[in-house]
Chains A and B, each alone.
Chain A
Amino acid sequence: MLIVQEPLLKASFKLEILRRLFTGAAILPLLEGFEAREMIEARQFIWEKTIEFGIQTRGKAFSRDDITKRMKPISWYQKEKGCKEPAQKCRATDCFYTNPECAFAMAKDQIEAMRRVLMDYLNVTSKSEG
């Protein structure tokens, strides 16, 4: 049976993410203390916005690779941690529960990479870069 879970993240949190994206402010401090499902939802929301704004600003020239090429490959994390699990587990969300330290670190790296891609799409200057 398919169980649809209610979103954990409040609408105001998503608004705050947009606000930070539009003003070039850092997102990672917002995610401190997040639990697995919250982190997964936050990453998913930012991924969706990155795709949406990517398509709107780049049109036919948009490619997922624009985003993923800024992220470290899964193999990098596996090597770093000496992880022998199949890469598929890493692509899914299993690791948030079985190997949270690595999964959270990867999610944060991905979110920061997406933020930087979005800075380009939105033509916004990152505050941390001055």
Chain B
Amino acid sequence: MEEYLHHETQRVGEIVIVGPPGSAKYEFINSLCKDVVITDQDVIFGRLPVGKDLLLFLYGVGYNGKNFDFAWDLIAPKMLGCIILFDWYNQQSYEGANKILDFLTQQFSAPLVLAADVRSNSYPIEECLFSAGITLSSHVRFLFYRSSDANGIRRAAVSLLDALIEAAS
């Protein structure tokens, strides 16, 4: 229980996990955090301690294809960074992720990681070619992952942390 408490000396950062309907936001957050809560506002919330000094709040929020909901308005202005999840092999999911991506890159300068879920399929390219994240622009990276694979999920989170460190340095 001790590790979930927010110590006064701990810095808190807020990370948004967003994706079109069907993207595995719960699986993603649940894989990283030990206690995950789904709120009344349909926000998935988890705490991720990073060492002793940093606690990340992960917010999984939806996108309905037209605009962002109430939860998004509250969280987005404070977010350190964002991970966009989508299903690589689902055209609707891909198109949804494109809309989110353009919205976020036009509205915010926070680092973004685009994580494309290949589900149980093989990766389209060799893993070593995207493991560090493929750069789309100075603050957007792309990688593949599997929503059933904890290591891939961790890699996406680490890619965002790397981008945050780079942006801060």
Give me the interface of A with B, judged by CB distance under 8 Å: 7, 10-12, 14-16, 18-19, 22-23, 48-49, 52-53, 56-57, 122-124
Chain B contacts of A123 at CB under 8 A?
A: 125-126
Do B136 and A15 touch across chains, with their CB atoms under 8 A apart? yes
Q: Is B51 an interface residue (CB 8 A)?
A: no
A15, B142: Cβ atoms under 8 Å?
yes
Q: Within the complex, what minimum Cβ distance (angstroms) separates A125 from chain B? A: 11
Contact (Cβ within 8 A) B142 A18: yes
Question: Which residue from A7, A11, A15, A22 sits with its C-beta under 8 Å from B125?
Answer: A22
A7 to B, closest residue via Cβ? B137
Closest CB of chain B to A113's CB: distance in Å? 20
Whole-angstrom distance between the Cβ of B74 and the nearest chain A Cβ: 24
8 closest residue pairs by CB, A with B: A12-B98, A22-B124, A11-B105, A14-B136, A12-B102, A11-B101, A122-B125, A10-B102
Q: B98 — which chain A residues lie within 8 A by C-beta?
A: 12, 15-16
Interface centre among A19, A49, A52, A124 (most CB of B within 10 A): A19
Whether A11 and B128, one on each chain, are in contact in the complex, defined by CB atoms closer than 8 angstroms, is no
- Residues of chain B with a CB closer than 8 A to A23's CB: 124
Q: How many residues of B contact A (CB 8 A)?
A: 19
A-B CB contacts (within 8 Å), total count: 46
B interface residues, Cβ below 8 angstroms from A: 94, 97-99, 101-102, 105, 114, 124-126, 128-129, 134-137, 140, 142
Q: Are A53 and B142 in contact (CB under 8 A)?
A: no
Query: Within the complex, what minimum Cβ distance (angstroms) separates A45 from chain B?
Result: 8
CB distance from A91 to the nearest CB of B (A): 25
**Chain A residues with Cβ under 8 A from B99's Cβ?**
12
Q: What CA separation (Å) do A10 and B99 show in the bound complex?
A: 10
B128-A15 in contact (CB<8A) = no
User: In the docked arrangement, what's the CA distance between A48 and B134, Å?
Assistant: 11
Closest to B100 in A: A12
Known: A14-B136, A14-B140. 14 other contacts (CB 8 A): A10-B105, A11-B136, A11-B140, A12-B99, A12-B102, A15-B97, A15-B114, A15-B142, A52-B134, A52-B135, A57-B129, A122-B129, A123-B126, A124-B125
Q: How far is the CA of A66 from the CA of B102 in the complex (A)?
A: 34
Known contacts A18-B134, A18-B136, A18-B142; A11/B102 CB under 8 A:
yes
The answer to whether B124 and A11 have CB atoms under 8 Å apart is no
Interface contact A15-B129, CB-CB below 8 Å: no
Query: In the complex, how many angstroms separate the beta carbon of A22 from the nearest chain B beta carbon?
Result: 4
Q: Which residue of A lies closest to B140 (CB)?
A: A11
The answer to whether A56 and B105 have CB atoms under 8 Å apart is: no
Chain B residues with CB below 8 A from A10, complex form: 101-102, 105
- Nearest-CB residue, chain B, relative to A17: B136
Contacts of B94 in A (CB 8 A): 19
> In the complex the two chains form, is A53's CB within 8 Å of B124's CB?
no
**Docked-complex contact B101 and A15, CB < 8 angstroms:** yes
